[in-house]
């Protein structure tokens, strides 16, 4: 148990002290090796080998491709076209632009795979449009923050790629398993928008005419094909998820430069630079997590955790509910991506022993961590929206509280009813 305390509690303490995630993982792993072997005999060569081994993965090449796709979509003005499509679809509902906000996020999720990219790009457009239409800034910000969490759920999903690589789970199955939860999530948020809109008497727009809808679809059709290329290409066996990300990236480059001509070469260099920085940060965390996972396995920490849980909890559903609560607590204090690296190698071997499908558990874990993106004190999406609106953090959290209700209901549904999550993977992939 001393090893577990150093590995887990020590890591949490380092993270709460503000130590960067990769350094915290490497440091806690080195502490364990020093504690067990002697601090004068820490195997530095092994540490370097294990960290480098963590990023030597073909699957991980999908991460920079998806990051670049999200930034290209924002830079090329694709978010405007997606927003117009959503406006013609649901803008006539009560509280119309609130529904447009959610639907636009669902559509944009199929292109970016990132909640922060959604909030920072499409979110700024959504908030301005809602404010111009007379909606309060607080409500506009709360809807935008909540709907941005759909981004990493509906495929393609950067967290799903990371989880699949760490858990050795099928990324194609994870993509398929996330579709229905993402749609239910969007419907739940729209239901809350409708309730609040009726209570506050928000305006209703005239229903879009058919020619307006067709015009919006024509303008936004090409970018809307991006997720279709990814999903169909993977399921048909034409290319792997990693190859799909590169094909989708090439497609986005073509429509951005040759069709819409909405990005200059200088802007493209800035996008490449920002993507390179994001990729380097993520891969450094992956390298640190590889060493961390190896030390967990080397000292059988996961076996100790599994033995303890097996002796105290016998029902798989009870375990899933407890783990969901535990993941939610972790997500309050640690961002979603570092939390994935921390929890996946620790918990996946445990749930497998209970007969829980790692794909189902992956969707539950990712969904739970997305709720953490809009909960204080570390909610990165909240801080992104706060920067856009200039609202106080407390005021933004207060406006967001009602939207926790549908998210927790959906989390309970997908946790208790795995058939909902696994329906499409079982149907398509057998």
Q: What is the 3-state secondary structure (H, E, C) of 124-152?
A: HHHHHHHHHCCCCHHHHHHHHHHHHCCCC
Residue 32 lies in a domain: no
Report the pLDDT value the prediction gives residue 58, as an integer from 0 to 100.
78
Q: Going by C-beta distance under 8 Å and a sequence separation of 6 or more, which residues neighbour residue 168?
A: none
DSSP letter for each residue of 94-129 = TTHHHHHHHHHHHHHHHHH--HHHIIIIIHHHHHHH
Mean pLDDT score across all residues of the chain: 86
- Number of structural domains in the chain: 1
What is the 3-state composition of the chain as percent helix, strand, coil, each rounded to the nearest 5?
Answer: 80, 0, 20
Report the pLDDT value the prediction gives residue 334, as an integer from 0 to 100.
77
Report the pLDDT value the prediction gives residue 112, as an integer from 0 to 100.
66
Helix (H, G, I), strand (E, B) or coil at 378: coil
Report the pLDDT value the prediction gives residue 113, as an integer from 0 to 100.
66
Cis peptide before 156 (omega within 30 of 0): yes
Residue 165 lies in a domain: yes
Q: Which ranges of 255-335 does DSSP label H, i.e. alpha helix?
A: 265-298, 301-312, 316-333
- Give per-residue pLDDT as tens, 152-204: 898 888 889 889 988 989 888 999 999 999 999 999 999 999 999 989 888 77
Question: Considering the entire predicted model, what is its pTM?
Answer: 0.84
Report the pLDDT value the prediction gives residue 218, as an integer from 0 to 100.
85
Length reported for the chain:
430
pLDDT < 50 positions in the chain: none
Report the pLDDT value the prediction gives residue 39, as an integer from 0 to 100.
75
Residue 272 lies in a domain: yes
Residue 46 lies in a domain: no
Which two three-digit tokens encode residue 110?
Answer: 């199929």
Report the pLDDT value the prediction gives residue 182, as an integer from 0 to 100.
94
Report the pLDDT value the prediction gives residue 281, as an integer from 0 to 100.
83
Report the pLDDT value the prediction gives residue 121, as an integer from 0 to 100.
72
Report the pLDDT value the prediction gives residue 337, as an integer from 0 to 100.
80
Residue 166 lies in a domain: yes
Residue 68 lies in a domain: yes
Residue 423 lies in a domain: yes
Residue 34 lies in a domain: no
Q: Going by C-beta distance under 8 Å and a sequence separation of 6 or more, which residues neighbour residue 250?
A: none
Residue 409, domain extent: 59-279+302-429
- Give per-residue pLDDT as tens, 310-344: 788 889 999 999 999 989 988 887 778 888 888 88
Which two three-digit tokens encode residue 327?
Answer: 């993941």
């Amino acid at each position: 148990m001393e090893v577990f305390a150093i590995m887990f509690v020590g890591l949490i303490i380092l993270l709460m002290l503000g130590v960067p995630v990769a350094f915290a993982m490497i440091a806690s792993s080195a502490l364990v090796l020093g504690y067990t072997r002697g601090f004068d005999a820490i195997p530095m060569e092994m540490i370097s080998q294990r960290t480098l081994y963590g990023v030597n993965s073909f699957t991980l090449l999908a991460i920079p491709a998806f990051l670049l796709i999200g930034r290209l979509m924002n830079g090329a003005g694709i978010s405007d076209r997606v927003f117009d499509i959503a406006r013609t679809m649901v803008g006539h509902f009560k509280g119309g632009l609130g529904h447009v906000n959610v639907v636009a996020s669902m559509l944009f999720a199929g292109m970016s795979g990132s909640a922060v990219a959604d909030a920072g790009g499409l979110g700024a457009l959504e908030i301005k449009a809602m404010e111009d239409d007379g909606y309060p800034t607080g409500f506009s910000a709360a809807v935008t923050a909540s709907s941005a969490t759909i981004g990493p759920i509906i495929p393609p999903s950067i967290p799903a790629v990371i989880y699949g690589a760490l858990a050795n789970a099928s990324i194609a199955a994870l993509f398929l398993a996330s579709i229905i939860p993402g749609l239910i999530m969007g419907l739940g948020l729209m239901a809350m928008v409708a309730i609040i809109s009726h209570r506050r008497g928000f305006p209703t727009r005239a229903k879009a005419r058919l020619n307006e809808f067709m015009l919006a679809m024509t303008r936004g059709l090409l970018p809307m094909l991006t997720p279709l290329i990814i999903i169909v290409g993977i399921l048909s066996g034409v290319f792997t998820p990693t190859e799909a990300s590169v094909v989708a990236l090439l497609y986005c480059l073509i429509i951005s430069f040759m069709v819409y001509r909405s990005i200059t070469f200088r802007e493209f260099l800035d996008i490449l630079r920002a993507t390179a920085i994001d990729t380097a940060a993520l891969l450094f965390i992956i390298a640190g997590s590889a060493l961390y996972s190896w030390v967990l396995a080397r000292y059988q920490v996961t076996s100790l955790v599994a033995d303890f849980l097996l002796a105290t909890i016998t029902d798989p559903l009870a375990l899933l509910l407890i783990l969901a609560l535990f993941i939610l607590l972790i997500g309050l204090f640690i961002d979603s991506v570092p939390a994935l690296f921390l929890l996946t190698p620790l918990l996946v071997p445990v749930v497998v022993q209970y007969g829980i499908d790692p794909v189902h558990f992956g969707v539950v874990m990712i969904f739970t961590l997305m709720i953490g993106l809009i909960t204080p004190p570390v909610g990165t999406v909240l801080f992104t929206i706060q920067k856009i609106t200039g609202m106080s953090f407390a005021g933004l959290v207060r406006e967001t509280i009602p939207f926790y209700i549908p998210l927790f209901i959906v989390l309970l549904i997908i946790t208790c009813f795995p058939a909902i999550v696994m329906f499409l993977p079982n149907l398509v992939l057998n």
